[in-house]
A and B are shown apart, each in its own frame.
Chain A
Amino acid sequence: MRIVFLFIMVAFQLSCFSQNRELLYNFTSIPQSLLVNPGADVSYKYYFGIPLLSGVSANLGSSSFSAYDLFANNGVDFNDKVRNIINKSSGKDKTQVNQQLELFSGGFRVGGKDSNSYISFGAYQEFDFLMYVPKDLAVLALDGNQNYIGKAFDLSDLSLRAEVLSVFHVGFHKKMSEKLVLGGRVKIYSSGANATSTKNSGHIYTGQSVGSPNIYDQEISSHLELKTSGISTFTKDEYDGNIAKDIANNTFFNGSLGLGLDAGITYNFKDNLQFTASIVDFGFVNQTKDIETLTYIGQYKYEGVNPNFGISNDPDNVFDEFERAIPRDTTYNKYTTWRPTKFYSSIQYSFGESRFGDDCNCKGSIQRKYTNAIGGQLFIMSMPREPFVALTAFYQRSIFEKLDLKATYTFDAYSNTNIGLGLSGTIGKFNIYGLFNNVLEYKDVSKANSLAFQFGFNFIFQDPKE
């Protein structure tokens, strides 16, 4: 019990932020922007990321509280802090962690110098965790049911999913004309571990009604299901390996396989007015390795002891009765999980002709380069309950020809003061980028509700200037 609670609290602590990459999206001087829009207008002769360092990202935070709220060393009793957090959370509050590490990545132009077709490929490891705050159950654990007569504690509050997987991908994009870029990407997922418990329902109820032979009407109605893949081995007593090592091994070499697609478009209405849209991770994983599904399904009414005067005894054992009514069942069926699908879109207006253009506009291209761009972005991600939506306003500026800055202001369920800053600079062939979300929170990270960052290093080769 306590361990479960601790797990919940630690998860809260890690908790967090969506997978919105508002800074990376359409930041086309960074090749990794192709991962959020395979139809982004990115061009190169060829590029490769520095292995393990081309894309390191993490999103952390929480919609209803910060690490400070829980762990501040301020003399307030820990139990009071927990109580405060539970009280101000709702079942809609969620905690989310997403981490990605690019193992390798690269790309090249296909065809000759005048070709506008590009291939990009790579592999990355990803960890996803999503849990809604199980408010009703937390209240029950903290307070009990004494002051909640008539309330049904909702078991559907229990909702989480977690996955570790590796993704191998190949993408193709082509600049069809000055106006249109189209792109797509195929992904093979290899899931090392998955836990899904998102379709729970039922309640724990204590009420009172007139005419009942008992003081209380007490009922547990349960439809709980936890599906796991790649995990059950570790829960067995006889297991004595290294969990981290085994999960890593399964993730890359022995995972449950899945397939996914990304697609994207960039369309220039005018020289300085651009529309983009993409769909990312439209795909599924067939969970087939080391699968185990645990269920607690049933209904139980608790009436207390009812003596049978005069009749021979029929002993009733409450726990046996309970276990018969709501048995723990284990099944071994394959199941399919859908990847959290992301949708992005943006509209961008550029202005201020580039002063650096004078010495680089000599490729015969008549396209003008602008120094500034402003615009808006929309992000939607599928979730077990309702989709996550974020709106972003951004300003992008070329400080030098090879140094770009992007600033964003994002409004979503986690924060309405999320200002992000991103920089991408290229020195020779060497590209460095750093993207930081919620920069206002960096003055005291412990009070942040959400933080996200990404950085990486690439080598990008363009055609030599003529």
Chain B
Amino acid sequence: MKLNAISTISKVIIASYLFFSCSSDLDFDQVEDLKLEPVVVANLAYFNLPANEIIYNGNEQVAFDISDFDVIRNKFFNEHLKKAAFNFEIENTINRAFSVAILLLNDNEDILDTSTFQVPAYTGGINIIKFPPEVFDNQRLEILKQATKIGFIVRIGAGPPLNQNSPGNLKLRSSATVYMEIQ
């Protein structure tokens, strides 16, 4: 019985050892280092301008519009935006050359930034041009952050006149790749 008691007691001691435990060195301050860097792609702008709607009255500027562009003005977005790249793709099936200008404007409609894309006339075949990305970083990023409106100017090149029966379209598709840094 006595021997049994000793072995029992030792069992209890071993069990009580479990009350004491160790832990590796942990550093909870690392949470401060958390940095999210999502890369988001989104539609930017698009249009489809049919040839028969282009009214040519001697002025080379055939289409113009200014739209609100308030995404950038969002505080969260504005604060965490590190870089952006705009990708433009234009398809022309009209037998005239065009130039498309994309403007970034502020509330007073002062032009802050202009990107211009030249599109050759349609001569059959595929006429889709993917332009190199317009990159906004450093100085140009600051300009982008002040933009509240986006403007579109379509200018027509020389060539045969267009009328209500002219075939073809001028299509623009574009996207933004947005690099965020949230700390």
A binding-site residues for B, Cβ under 8 Å: 1-2, 5-6, 9, 67-68, 71-73, 77-79, 81-82, 140-147, 149, 206, 213-216, 218, 302-310, 313, 315-319, 399-400, 403, 405, 421, 423, 434, 436, 439, 442-447
> Are the CB atoms of B43 and A142 closer together than 8 Å?
no
- B177 contact set on A, CB distance < 8 A: 146
Interface residue? B41 (CB, 8 A)? yes
Q: Which of B24, B40, B53, B178 has the most CB of A within 10 A?
A: B24
Interface residue? B38 (CB, 8 A)? yes
- B41 contact set on A, CB distance < 8 A: 144-146, 149, 206, 216
> Are the CB atoms of B74 and A319 closer together than 8 Å?
yes
> Are the CB atoms of B44 and A142 closer together than 8 Å?
no
Q: What's the Cα separation between A163 and B55 when bound, in Å? A: 67
Q: B71 is contacted by which of A215, A218, A318, A444 (Cβ under 8 Å)?
A: A318
Min distance, Cβ A341 to any Cβ of chain B, angstroms: 31
- B173 contact set on A, CB distance < 8 A: 213-215
Interface residue? B56 (CB, 8 A)? no
Number of cross-chain contacts by CB at 8 Å: 172
Q: B67 is contacted by which of A79, A218, A313, A436 (Cβ under 8 Å)?
A: A313
Q: What's the Cα separation between A9 and B70 when bound, in Å? A: 32
CB within 8 Å for A446 and B24 given contacts A2-B36, A144-B39, A310-B63: yes
Interface residue? B34 (CB, 8 A)? yes
Q: What's the Cα separation between A313 and B63 when bound, in Å? A: 13
Q: Scan B145-183; emit 1 where CB is below 8 A from any A CB, else 0.
A: 000001010100000000000000001011101101011
Chain B interface residue number, banded: 35 or more
Interface residue? B69 (CB, 8 A)? yes
Q: What's the Cα separation between A307 and B101 when bound, in Å? A: 13
- A145 contact set on B, CB distance < 8 A: 38-41
- B180 contact set on A, CB distance < 8 A: 144
> Are the CB atoms of A82 and B34 closer together than 8 Å?
yes
> Are the CB atoms of A304 and B47 closer together than 8 Å?
no
Q: Which of B10-18, B119-127, B133-141 lies at the interface?
A: B10-18
Q: A307 is contacted by which of B42, B45, B53, B175 (Cβ under 8 Å)?
A: B45
Q: What's the Cα separation between A147 and B39 when bound, in Å? A: 8
Q: A71 is contacted by which of B30, B66, B178 (Cβ under 8 Å)?
A: B30
Q: Scan B52-80; emit 1 where CB is below 8 A from any A CB, else 0.
A: 01010000000111111111001010000
List 9 extra interface pairs beyond A82-B34, A423-B12, CB under 8 A: A2-B36, A71-B26, A144-B178, A213-B48, A213-B173, A214-B173, A304-B42, A305-B150, A306-B47
- B107 contact set on A, CB distance < 8 A: none
B binding-site residues for A, Cβ under 8 Å: 8, 11-12, 15, 18-19, 21-28, 30-31, 33-49, 53, 55, 63-71, 74, 76, 87, 89, 150, 152, 154, 171, 173-175, 177-178, 180, 182-183
Q: What's the Cα separation between A19 and B71 when bound, in Å? A: 46
Min distance, Cβ A462 to any Cβ of chain B, angstroms: 22
Q: List 13 A-B contacts (CB under 8 A).
A: A71-B28, A72-B25, A78-B30, A142-B37, A145-B39, A206-B41, A218-B43, A307-B63, A310-B55, A313-B67, A315-B68, A442-B18, A444-B24
Q: A2 is contacted by which of B15, B34, B55, B150 (Cβ under 8 Å)?
A: B34
> Are the CB atoms of A421 and B15 closer together than 8 Å?
yes
CB within 8 Å for A313 and B65 given contacts A143-B39, A302-B42: yes
- Which 6 pairs across A and B sit closest by C-beta, in order of nearness? A144-B38, A304-B43, A307-B65, A442-B21, A305-B45, A73-B27
> Are the CB atoms of A305 and B44 closer together than 8 Å?
yes
> Are the CB atoms of A313 and B45 closer together than 8 Å?
no
- A146 contact set on B, CB distance < 8 A: 39-41, 177
CB within 8 Å for A216 and B42 given contacts A423-B12, A444-B23, A445-B22: yes
Min distance, Cβ A150 to any Cβ of chain B, angstroms: 12
- A319 contact set on B, CB distance < 8 A: 70-71, 74
> Are the CB atoms of B23 and A446 closer together than 8 Å?
yes
> Are the CB atoms of A213 and B171 closer together than 8 Å?
yes
CB within 8 Å for A142 and B23 given contacts A214-B173, A218-B43, A400-B8: no
CB within 8 Å for A304 and B76 given contacts A146-B177, A403-B8, A445-B23: no
